[in-house]
Structure 1
Amino acid sequence: MSLPTATRVLSPDELDLLELALGGGSPLPAARLLGHDGGPVTLTDAENTPLAVLDDGGARPVKPLARAAGPHWEPALRRPADDVRAGLAAARDVVAVVVDEPPTRAEAGALPAVVAGADAVLLLVPAARHTPRPGAVGAPALVRAAQALADRLDVTAHVVVVPWPAAGGVGAAGALDRDGVAARYGATRATRLADHRDAATRDRVARLATLWTDEVAALYPEPVAREVVRAATAASRRGAVVLLTGLSGSGKSTVARALAAELDDEGLHTTLLDGDEVRHHLSKGLGFDRASRELNVERIGYVASLVARHGGIALAAPIAPFASGRARVRELAEAAGAAFVLVHVSTPLEVCEARDRKGLYARARRGEIPDFTGISSPYEAPDDADVVVDTSVTDVPDAVATVRAALLSALGA
């Protein structure tokens, strides 16, 4: 299928909307969801991988959307709405319960009454691609919580946990109402579990955020309390920079995204500096000659060091083909007092070329892309990597676990 020349790079929220629309989970046409008002356009992700063609007739898939790791990405759970609905076709009464906050004992106790009489129960967990706000419990933890609820729910109804791509933006995303989406997944009625929280529990949850500071204020005189709060605020975790380097298509971004989600879920707030996105925002206009590549990597290293200097964890996933550029990132990180972990994603060239989601290797082989790493420009494999993973023989969860262990070791955790 030939693709239209017009392209549109989708944001994380728009990728959620596209996934929802392609899977049948949206009650609205894909064109309306994505604000489409013209001729055919190719929809791509931030790595410029063509995912679908959108026109007045709707969205036609081109390539599968990339998946990350974690329970909210398990294919057995994160199923298209059409598949979920088909599996519940025999059920007359299907109640969808949206689990978008950690359920307290109060909601867990109320759940059997909420689903009483239903033939099937859908525990719908919003699992958006965008990074949750600091301190929020993310989709992986909510899916695990929903699975625990399902295991302990003593009802005769069939219980299904489904993470759904809940776009968190405004505008088009605001048109997606809970009841409409739930109906597309096969529900005949829908409710939000947190709405069944009693007033006393709501008050206790609201006070959690200030419980420590309230206790400090009660224990100490005001001038002393200020000093205690100041000292606690200043005592932050040592920051870190994790640099993932490898050929295009090696799996760097996939591993980095999955690791970022896992660390966020554990409360270790991360900043993801993906190669293609940085090129678009921070290094727009740079070429792909050696000097431009080195400058791009140095810019990434500088931003990463700023994040790490203030106790954050920066995950950077450029190709970073030259040893001198990677050494500069290490130098910037260590100057900021941060831990540094170099990860070589060593997936062989032939595997990367076979994946070729963006069609770049084929174009480079035809001479259409000059200075393409691995084809017409060299890649200097690191001999100082802290971690080496090959995604052709190691799956993403295992790769994430290996990098995570090296990171925590570097942090002394």
Structure 2
Amino acid sequence: MNTPETTYVLSPVELDLLELHLGGGTDTLTLLDRPVQGPVTLTDAENTPLAVVGEDGHATALKPIARAAGPHWDPAVRRGAHDVAHEIRREVGPVGDVLALLVDAAPTRDELDALDGLVAGAAAVLVLVPASRRHPEPGHLGAPGLARVGTVVGDAVAAAFDGPVRTVVVPWADGAGLRWDDVATHHGADRVERLADHRTPPTAERVARLSTLWSREVGTLYPDAVAREVEHAARGARSEGTVVFFTGLSGSGKSTVAQALAAELDDEGRHTTLLDGDAVRQHLSKGLGFDKASRELNVERIGYVASLVAYHGGVAIAAPIAPFASGRARVREMAQAAGRFVLVHVSTPLEVCEARDRKGLYAKARAGEIPEFTGISSPYEEPTDADLVVDTSVTSVEAAVAQVKNLL
């Protein structure tokens, strides 16, 4: 298939929209509430061609979208709308009433107690869980947490309901013009109920007050003037910032582990910034080459931004190749001046990295088409000071994330 010359690099939000569309969740592709004028090739931040959009606004897949780790990436629940609709309609028939339960917030006991009445009369139930690549707002569940509570709801429905129940993680992007009624229909549902809408007013009021309970206790314990000082000190307090710096060959799995770690830490309420090597090349280091001096400057820029994040109490997760010990040492120095530094060497063997290559870069490097390619025509200096060494050819992404979290 000949691909058009025009390309469009997708943001994380737009990757969600493309994934939803390719799975059959929308009729035409809209990116950030703007219809795409085809023909155009859509790529990720690594410049991997993912799909071609024709003049009709419909996208045709070229390569699979890279998957990450975590409960929201479990292939048993992260399934395309077309497959879900086909399966559920095969079980209940074309006229069976399929209810979609939208779980976009942590359900209280109220909502779980209301399940019996909600599912009564339905032939099947789809528990739809929105999952976004975008970082959640502080205090809100991210995609991993929503996937876990979605499973809780699915299990509760299955215990109270005789018909088919499916929990489905749906790629989602707020503010992009999506409507749950339409998306649920594409998944095979006849109607949608948002579970959080069945929270009783007293419970909703108690949930809304959660964020102010601490301030009220401070106001009760201290005189007004003193309470203001206590609250001021609490707002100014910051936890120790951390830079988690992944290094390894292209295709080693460092970006996948870094993305999964960022999602988990975000879900735990940590302020996390992900600085992936390929994405940084699109913005922070655009225009730099791949000679040693340019690579060192790229790594130094990443280290500088990461150290700023750490200085302000956040967690910066960086995942460049960073092939040279001197560059990594400079990053360590900057990071330790701002907070804590954790170096993770993703030591996946070269032959495994080469076999995984989605873009054919290793083949081009071996053919001499890409000069100074790390691991082929340019050296990779393996770190001797890594805090953790992970080989993703023998260690799962989930296990690797757990090992890094243990260090933190």
SS at match of 1:163: strand
Letter in 2 for 1:215: E
2:250·2:321 contact (CA, 8 Å) conserved in 1? yes
**Given the two structures, how large is their TM-score scaled by the length of structure 1?**
0.93
* 1:5-404 pair list within 5 angstroms: 5-26=5-26, 28-30=27-29, 35-57=34-56, 58-89=58-89, 90-91=91-92, 92-153=96-157, 154-168=160-174, 170=175, 173-174=176-177, 176-336=178-338, 338-404=339-405
Question: Is the CA contact 1:244–1:317 (under 8 Å) kept in the aligned structure 2?
Answer: yes
CA distance in 2, matches of 1:360, 1:312: 34
Q: Partner residue of 1:411? A: none
Work out the CA distance in 1 between the residues paired with 2:392 and 2:354. 13
Deviation track 1:195-216 (CA, whole Å, cap 9, x = no partner) reads: 1112111111111111211221
Question: What are the superposed Cα offsets for residues 125-173 of structure 1, whole Å, 9 maximum, x if unpaired?
Answer: 10111111122111211221121222233122322111100112x3xx2
Query: SS of 1:151's equivalent?
Result: helix
Query: Partners of 1:112 and 1:269 in 2: how far apart?
Result: 38
CA distance in structure 2 between the aligned counterparts of 1:17 and 1:142, rounded to whole angstroms: 18
User: Is the 8 Å Cα contact of residues 31 and 55 (structure 1) preserved in structure 2?
Assistant: no
Instruction: Please tell me whether the aligned partners of residues 17 and 34 of structure 1 are also in contact (alpha carbons under 8 angstroms).
Output: no
Q: Residue 17 of structure 2 contacts residue 30 of structure 2 at CA under 8 Å; is this kept in 1?
A: no
Shift in Å, 1:32: 7.8
Aligned-pair CA distance for 1:282: 1.0
Secondary structure, aligned partner of 1:53: strand
Amino acid at match of 1:132: P
Distance in 1 of aligned mates of 2:297 and 2:331? 11
Q: For the Cα contact (< 8 Å) 2:14–2:31, is it kept in 1?
A: no
- Taking the aligned partners of 2:293 and 2:129, their CA distance within structure 1 comes to 46
Deviation at 1:45, TM superposition (A): 0.8
In the TM superposition, what is the alpha-carbon distance from 1:248 to its structure 2 partner? 1.0
Residue 168 of structure 2 aligns with an amino acid whose one-letter code is: V
CA offsets per residue over residues 44-87 of structure 1, 9 Å max, x none?
11111111111125211111111111111100111111111111
Moved more, 232-241 or 340-349: 232-241
User: Where does structure 2 lack aligned partners over 5 or more consecutive residues?
Assistant: none
Query: Greater CA deviation, 151-160 or 237-246?
Result: 151-160
Q: CA deviation at 1:25?
A: 1.1
TM-score, structure 2 as length reference: 0.94
Q: The residue matched to 1:88 in structure 2 has which SS?
A: helix
Equivalent residues of 1:249, 1:356 under 8 A apart: yes
Cα RMSD of the aligned pairs, angstroms, is 1.6
Aligned equivalents of 2:18, 2:286: Cα separation in 1: 26
Within 2, Cα distance between the matches of 1:36 and 1:25? 16
Moved over 3 A (4+): 31-39
Matched, 1:405 2:394: no
Unaligned runs of 5+ in 1: 409-413
Count of residues in Structure 1 that have an aligned counterpart in Structure 2:
401
**Cα offset for 1:285?**
1.5
Identity of aligned residues (%): 66
CA distance in 1, matches of 2:369, 2:270: 42
CA gap 1:93/1:113 in 2 versus in 1, 3 angstroms: same
For 2:257, the aligned partner's letter is V
Relative to structure 1, the CA distance from residue 260 to residue 7 in structure 2 (aligned partners, 3 Å threshold; closer, same or farther) is: same
Cα deviation for residue 269 of structure 1 reads: 2.1
- The separation in 1 between residues aligned to 2:301 and 2:125, in whole angstroms, is 50
Contact 1:293–1:320 at 8 Å: present in 2 too? yes
* Structure 2 Cα separation of the partners of residues 271 and 307 of structure 1: 7
Displacement after TM superposition at 1:224 (Å): 0.3
Mapped to 2, the partners of 1:270 and 1:320 lie a distance apart of 21
* Residue identity matched to 1:342: L
Superposition deviation, residue 362 in structure 1: 2.2
